[in-house]
Structure 1
Amino acid sequence: MRIAVIGAGGVGGYFGARLAAAGNEVTFVARGAHLEAIRRSGLVVSSPLGEFRAPPASVVANISELGPVDVVLVAVKLWDTEDVAGQLRSSAARTAPVLSLQNGVHADGILRDRLADEQVLGGVCFISAFIREPGVVVHNGTLQRIVLGPYRDAQKATSDAVLATFHDAGIDAETSDDIERVVWEKFVFLVGLSATTAAVRAPIGVVRAHEESRRLLREVMAETVAVAQASGVRLDSGFADDRLDFCDTLPADMTSSMHHDLEQGNRLELPWLSGGVADLADRLGIPVPRNRTVADILAPYVMGRPAGHA
């Protein structure tokens, strides 16, 4: 397949390099020092599953430089989604199927609004990976899973073709006939993990070990389940308790990308996580006091570390 990967960070870099190593024609869209390093030496992924490399010729600086492709993988931060959709619409890749591997439940809606609705497949990924230095991505552990699926019956053949390509590249992947539910299931956990680790400023082991912060974790997730149900998504009312049990199985030092970004003074995806839950709840007339409080507490940090804050 000819595959465009927009965003060559931990997620896009890992999956794109695996696909390139399997013989697919992969083109990354990257920026800054990462772009220049890939141009010089290619993109290297260091993983317990082996080392994968994409060649130097596999990167461009802008979406406008993409040629026709068979599928587009979107792996940028959520605040870049609208810009990506706009650029895709005027590029040579404008008719290709699009699969977002971004966090949350908002990205697919943005893409479906701005591109042809039938282009956008649903998907989620499960992986821990990050840029160690320009041109080098490190994969933590062996988890590297993607679940994808069609929003419409007419997309099933495309979804199956992308799945086969993932399997041929050694990626743990599967399809779902109810991909919207799967996206929300991940979102419930992601909101809980992100909200609590960032608000407590500690990994999940600390959060779950204390009665008050454990209760916060459960209630943040329960509110998110309520918003999903009110939105017409089939989630069981006990799903928050299921995810709380899952949190008890996680390594004690596991944290969230939002907690990491907070600690580094980087911009936060808060408006699409707890802030996004609160905004959706407002439209639906549902109270979500825990998520709203987390969003309010972290609001000064959304654009990065505030001036005057060490």
Structure 2
Amino acid sequence: MRIAIFGAGGVGGYFGGRMIASGSDVTFLARGNHLSAIRQYGLSIKSPLGDITLKNVQAVENIADAGPVDLVIVAVKLWSTEEVAKTLIPIVEQGASVVSLQNGVYKDEALRKYLPSEAIMGGVSYISAVIEEPGVILHKSPLQALTFGEYDRTRSERAVALLDICQKAGIDATISDDIERKIWEKFVFLVGLSASTASMRQPIGAIRANPKSRGFLLDLMKEVVAVGRARGVALPEDFAEDRLTYCDTLPAGMTASMHHDLMQGNRLELPWLSGGVATYGRELGLPTPCNRAVEDILALYCDGQ
């Protein structure tokens, strides 16, 4: 399986790097100084699971330069999804499959505007990683997992092939028979973590320790559960409480990538996270006051400084 990874940041760079280190055929699509550094020096990963330095990494700026591809892993920021989807039309017509590891629940809806549904496999990533400097990925905790699967719940050959690649790379990977629910399960937690750490400018440890901020975190996630259930996703009624318990197990210093982007003055994925929850709420006639508050509070920073 020849893999192209659209985006060589924390998610794409880490998982792609692990795949390359185990012998898989992977080409990165990157831009700017990060692309230049990868081409000149290779890709380095700093990780509590062991550092990796990769030389002679295949990296291009345009998908047309990647050659024949069997699978495209999309790992760009959410605002680039439709732009990426348009560029993938030719290689999907040639038989390539696509799996997005992006945040949120809007990603595959955006891909389906341009690509046939049968080409798209659902996917979720679990990792805290960022670009520390051009050509260097910093993996912040031992967690590094992928879940993927077909929306029709079949166990496809392409899912099994990707699972084999992940297992050889030492990536904790599973195939799900209900990938839509898995995506929403992560969305519940992700919205809570991103909205709370970014709006409060604090890591999860401080937020969960204070009764008021802890209550706000729980309410953020309850709103996502209510919206998901209204859309027909099989989330348990008490799933927000389950995710709050999970938050208690996280490293106290953990923040979301949106917090990192806010602190760096970068553009935010806000419209597709808390903003997305608020939009779904309006469409469904469901109140989402906490997520709307986060959307409004962070609106000044949404496009970066």
The answer, yes or no, to whether TM exceeds 0.5 is yes
Q: Residues 126-164 of structure 1: CA distance to partner in whole angstroms, max 9, x if unpaired?
A: 111111211111212221100111112566222111111
Counterpart in 1 of 2:7?
7
TM-score by length of 2: 0.96
In the alignment, structure 1 residue 144 sits paired with structure 2 residue 144: yes
Equivalent position of 1:123 in the other structure: 123
> What is the rounded CA distance, in whole Å, between the counterparts of 1:251 and 1:222 in structure 2?
22
| Bigger Cα displacement from structure 2, 67-76 vs 217-226 | 67-76
Give distance in 2, aligned partners of 1:49 and 1:198: 27
SS at match of 2:123: strand
What do the CA deviations read for 1:29-84 (whole angstroms, capped 9, x no partner)? 00001111111121121222223344435000112222111111111000000000
The whole-number CA distance in structure 2 between the counterparts of 1:57 and 1:244 is: 40
User: What's the counterpart of residue 222 of structure 1?
Assistant: 222
Q: Which residue of 2 aligns with 1:97?
A: 97
Question: Which residue of 1 is the match for residue 79 of structure 2?
Answer: 79
CA distance in 1, matches of 2:206, 2:52: 35
1:141 match: secondary structure: strand
CA contact (8 A) 1:73 1:100 kept: yes
In the TM superposition, what are the counterparts of 1:125-274 in structure 2 within 5 Å? 125-153=125-153, 156-274=156-274
Q: How many residue pairs are counted as aligned between the two chains?
A: 305
Does structure 2 conserve the Cα–Cα contact (< 8 Å) formed by 1:63 and 1:87? Answer: yes
Output aligned runs, 1:281-300, within 5 Å. Answer: 281-300=281-300
Following the alignment from structure 1 to structure 2, what is the Cα–Cα distance between the partners of residues 302 and 81? Answer: 17
Distance 1:46 1:93, change over 3 A: farther
User: Which deviates further from its counterpart, 39-48 or 281-290?
Assistant: 39-48
Task: Give the Cα–Cα distance (whole angstroms) in 2 for the partners of residues 9 and 67 of structure 1.
Answer: 21
Q: Which amino acid aligns with 1:247?
A: C
Secondary structure (helix, strand or coil) at the match of 1:73 reads: strand
Q: Please state how far the C-alpha of 1:252 moved relative to its aligned partner.
A: 1.4
Contact 1:78/1:272, CA 8 A, preserved across alignment: yes
2:78 partner letter: L
Once the two structures are superposed, residues 153-207 of structure 1 have per-residue CA deviations (whole angstroms, 9 ceiling, x without a partner) of 5662221111111112211100110010000000000000111111111111121
Q: Which consecutive unaligned segments of at least 5 residues does structure 2 have?
A: none
How big is the shift at 1:91?
Answer: 4.3
Structure 1, unaligned runs of 5 or more: 306-310
1:233-267 per-residue CA deviation (whole Å, 9 max, x = no partner) reads: 00001001111111111111111111111111111
Aligned match of 1:40:
40
For the residue of structure 2 that corresponds to 1:49, the secondary structure is: coil
> 2 CA distance for matches of 1:153 and 1:278?
29
Taking the aligned partners of 2:113 and 2:155, their CA distance within structure 1 comes to 17
8 Å CA contact 1:66–1:93 kept in 2: the answer is no
Which whole-Å CA distance do the structure 2 matches of 1:23 and 1:93 have between them? 27
The percentage of counterpart residues that share the same residue type is: 57
SS in 2 for 1:50: coil
In 2, Cα distance between equivalents of 1:146 and 1:93: 26
- TM-score using structure 1 length: 0.95
User: Retained in 1: the 8 A contact 2:155–2:177?
Assistant: no
Q: Secondary structure at the match of 2:222?
A: helix
Report deviation, 1:93.
Answer: 7.7
